[in-house]
Structure 1
Amino acid sequence: MHSRQPLSCFVIACNESDRIEDCLKSIAGWADQLIVLDSGSQDNTVEIARKYTDEVYQTDWPGYGPQRNRALTYCKHDWVLNIDADERLNPAVKAEIDSLLAQQNPNFNMVKIPWQTYLFGKPLNHGRYSTPQGKLFLKTGVQFKNSQVHETLQMPEERIHVLKSPIAHHSWRNYQHVQEKHLKYAYLLAEEKYKKGKRSSIAFACVRFFTDFIQQYIFRLGFLDGKRGFFMALILGQYAYHKYAALAAITMESKVKEDKVV
């Protein structure tokens, strides 16, 4: 039995058979409750997950925010750890969490864990993808933002503690996966922005490529990661460009439709 407060952990997944086993191995037997919420995997993700927990549920895909909120409903303990299939917990992270949750009256309700994100086989130590992420939280009164992507956790009176040990983050399988993932996210974000009344132009998209590149490479010290840091800055510049180019394209398409109606 753990001397700390009990902990629920959930993983949302779809077609993650090449990565989810390492994730679940790092959690199973340590978390008091392990939940996997699958959204229609066509590979053997579900079969792998069932090796590590009896709580494997299959659903449709409503978007990242709604899916994480669904997962929250299965969590029976007050403290919840939200881990993705491309993340791994090492013993140092788990020891820090055990120590924190052993406190009688903790003065925090959110624990952020530094990311150690890998790009093409080696970690990035600077920039956007090293920022601590809010992974562990007290679930009372919280919910994820109801968005398709980049869903943030909304909670009253957030009190944060940041761990020292990082969580391993293997976000991209290869360069093709980087581009496919970011292009998908960019279009989803563009659709959300358009629905909220925001508009863009191709000129602004081009400006955002350069500003986001400079922010990552210079101001967030990406240059200290060498070739990988330069690659990551270019990728994030492309990501920003695609978000606003997609918004510009949606804007133009909608204008054509409006003109036809008139």
Structure 2
Amino acid sequence: MSSSTAPIERPRISACIITFNEADRIADCLASLHFCDELIVVDSFSSDDTVAIAQAAGARVLQRAFTGFRNQKDFAVGQARHDWVLCLDADERISPALCQAILAARDAGFAGHAGYRFARLSEYFGKFLRHGNAYPDRVMRLFDRRRGGWRGAREIHEAASVDGAVGTLHGDLIHYPYRSLMQQLAKTQRYAQMMAEHEYARGKRATLAKLVLAPAWRFWRGLLLRGGWRDGWHGLVYAYVRANYVRQKTIMLWMLHNGAAVSDPVKPPR
């Protein structure tokens, strides 16, 4: 008497990306997602060729005003035709090793898991950072949207979560976060303000001790305890800039608590 096992139905994957003026990066991002069954780009009315490039790559492009990182990504997931979604930013790429790991998990039916995390490897002005606070920086970007998604109220440093087991896949998500140092400094200052305002609204307050110690702890933890020094001057500069982010966020939280202005007041139209 013989028996046969029914083949596992291969789940389909929808890739979801949000964009704004990413003409120089979106093509490589989408090319790395060649194994996905659907490409969705939610664009915030880019003024460059982002939309045309994405459409030429086979993506379904939707236009939507930007309402926050978490909210925009949640909207993108909601437009997917398939329940398993892979969410990337335009400055990220799936490495060949990670691609193979995702395909293996998919061919096994994503059995036993509601989502998967993997390491993110960031390029920093000509060098990939493999130590310090920069790596492995694991993120969960592949998940079953029926069991989770981009939940919560935080629109900055947003993270997806699921109800169920989360597996870890081999391979790196390649990240090209900064076009220049000035762009990084402007970005971290903007994020620091958004995070300070979020924490203040939730009742969090900065103390004098945190104001003094938190930036120093972030710097030395990344540079020494986590081996950021192994990345040479790139690791040193990265540690300084990330410590400066903590300093800015904590100062802004302190200012908000004490009723001081953090940003310029909005001037009424003349």
**Pair in the same fold by TM > 0.5:** yes
CA deviation after TM superposition for structure 1 residue 183, in Å: 0.7
CA distance in 2, matches of 1:17, 1:39: 13
Structure 1, gaps ≥5 residues long: 256-262
Name the counterpart of 2:53: 48
Q: 1:33 to 1:247 in 2, by over 3 A?
A: same
Q: Any residues of structure 2 matched to 1:27-176 within 5 Å, and which?
A: 27-28=33-34, 30-104=35-109, 106-130=111-135, 131-144=137-150, 145-157=152-164, 159-176=165-182
Question: 3-state SS of the aligned residue for 2:170?
Answer: coil
Question: 3-state SS of the aligned residue for 1:21?
Answer: helix
CA distance in 2, matches of 1:252, 1:187: 15
Could you give the per-residue CA deviations for residues 126-163 of structure 1, whole angstroms, max 9, x where no partner exists? 12322221111111131313322111213213x12222
Q: Alignment length, in residue pairs?
A: 251
Name the counterpart of 1:23: 29
Structure 2, gaps ≥5 residues long: 1-8, 262-270
Could you give the per-residue CA deviations for residues 169-216 of structure 1, whole angstroms, max 9, x where no partner exists? 001111111111111110000111111112225663332110110111
Could you give the per-residue CA deviations for residues 212-236 of structure 1, whole angstroms, max 9, x where no partner exists? 1011112222111111111111111
Name the counterpart of 1:9: 15
TM-score by length of 1: 0.90
Question: 3-state SS of the aligned residue for 1:216?
Answer: helix
In the alignment, which of 223, 228, 247 is matched to residue 222 of structure 1? Answer: 228
Q: Which amino acid aligns with 1:231?
A: V
CA distance in 2, matches of 1:245, 1:254: 11
CA distance in 1, matches of 2:108, 2:176: 31
RMSD value, Cα: 1.8
Identity of aligned residues (%): 30
Moved more, 91-100 or 188-197: 91-100
Question: 3-state SS of the aligned residue for 1:114?
Answer: strand
Q: 1:180 to 1:50 in 2, by over 3 A?
A: same
TM-score by length of 2: 0.87
Native 8 Å contact 1:187 1:243 kept in 2: yes
